[in-house]
Structure 1
């Protein structure tokens, strides 16, 4: 089964159009010929963004990520957030062309399936069709453990800052739900980026305790929960995910 693109048509709402255009203009002006292409994912390119609730998610593809100075990138972000207060946050991922092309089930998946090109030549078109399979699911989660460890460290390091822990708990909840969802792709046949639909699919297809899924989704919506309680439940969910992924990897190896 071929995995289809999440966003097939760009439908940026009028109130966000100027913001997106200015982001692209600032990036191109600041970094000039170092940019190959720019992508977006999430509610803004889908046309479902909500002012003062939705954030902006960009991905920049370039020959060498070291060419993009994060300090200058941060200055662009701060300027735009001050000008467009209804955008809650701007996240920017930077990736090399080589990574996209050499890792089709990881970075290739991100650019080809999750994102949509808003500037430049869409490198996702050079990625072969992605077939939903255990191989793909294992490859897709190759860096999940490291990502989870980084998020946990951020929560622990900022335990006294409720604003930051709230943000990280929300992000961790979303990351775990996405990891669990990857396990059931062979059942759903599509990548779902709507969190409610993702939760409902997990309740239908995932063998994990439904109460854990409901807890994570509640934390994604409102992450004002005790840190120790959350980390304990999140760890239980991650152990389930890791065991399921290991079984999948082992079954794949046994047929090689």
Structure 2
């Protein structure tokens, strides 16, 4: 079964259009000649964004990611967040053309399936069709452990309540996405709606439903969540995920 693109048509709501246009123009000016293409994913390009709750998610593809100064990029994001308070957060990911083409089940999947091209030539068109398989799921989660450990450390060390809430929501979302990847062979489609993901997990995963519902509640409203309690649940969920992924890898090896 071949994965279809999540966003087939760009439908940006009026309250976000000025931001998107000016943000892209600013990025292109700041890093002139260094950017191949710019992409978005999530609710803003889909036209389903919720003011003051939705994030702006960009991906920059370039020849060499080192050409993009992360500190300058972070400063640009901070400026635009202040100018457009309708946004909850701006996340900008950077990858190379080689990443997209040489890792079709990782960066290729991200650009081809999850994102939509906002500027430049869509390099996702050069990525071969992505077939849902255990190999794809394993490749897709190659860096999940590292990402989860990074968020875990950041949350453990956070002292600011706003940061804690942001990390809890982000951590919850990352774990729900990881669990959803386990059921791709059952659903046959990638979802970017967290509620739909949660329901699919409950239908197909043999995991304690209460753990999944807890994560979803923390993603929906990360305020007043006890960090220690959350980390305990997160560790339990990740342990389930890792065991399921290892079982998938072992099963695949036995058939090779």
Q: Could you say whether these structures have the same fold, taking a TM-score greater than 0.5 normalized by the shorter chain as the test?
A: yes
CA-CA distance at 1:75 after TM superposition:
2.3
Is 2:194 the partner of 1:195? yes
Partners of 1:25 and 1:46 lie apart in 2 by 20
Give the length in aligned residue pairs.
255
What is the TM-score normalised by the length of structure 1? Answer: 0.97
- TM-score, length of structure 2 as denominator length: 0.97
Q: 1:18-66: CA deviations, max 9, x gaps?
A: 1111011101111111000000000000001111111100000000000
In 1: Cα distance, 2:241 partner to 2:88 partner: 31
Task: Give 1:179's aligned residue.
Answer: 178
Residue aligned with 1:71, SS? helix
Instruction: Give, in angstroms, the shift of residue 78 of structure 1.
Output: 2.1
Q: Does 1:108 align with 2:108?
A: yes
Counterpart CA distance in 1 for 2:156 and 2:80 is 30
Equivalent residue for 1:250?
A: 250
SS in 1 for 2:36: strand
Aligned partner of residue 31 in structure 2, secondary structure: helix
Could you give the per-residue CA deviations for residues 148-198 of structure 1, whole angstroms, max 9, x where no partner exists? 00001001111x322211111111111000000000000001111111111
Moved more, 59-68 or 23-32: 23-32
Unpaired runs of at least 5, structure 1: none
**Alignment partners' CA distance in 1, 2:163 and 2:97:** 32
SS in 2 for 1:6: coil
1:18 match: 18
Question: Which segment is superposed worse, 160-169 or 203-212?
Answer: 160-169
For residues 226 and 52 of structure 2, the distance between their equivalents in structure 1, rounded to whole angstroms, comes to 26
The alpha carbon displacement at 1:241 in A equals: 0.3
What is the CA distance between 1:225 and its match in structure 2? 1.6
Q: CA RMSD in A?
A: 0.9
Cα drift, residue 233 of structure 1: 1.1
- Distance in 1 (CA, whole Å) between partners of 2:71 and 2:235 is 34
Cα distance in 1 between the residues matched to 2:88 and 2:211 = 28
Matching of residues 20-169 of structure 1 within 5 Å: 20-158=20-158, 160-169=159-168
| Counterpart for residue 238 of structure 2 | 238
CA–CA separation in structure 1 for the residues paired with 2:99 and 2:8: 23
Aligned equivalents of 2:229 and 2:53: distance in 1? 26
In the alignment, structure 2 segments of 5+ residues that lack a partner are none
Tell which deviates more after alignment, 218-227 or 179-188: 218-227
Partner residue of 2:210?
211
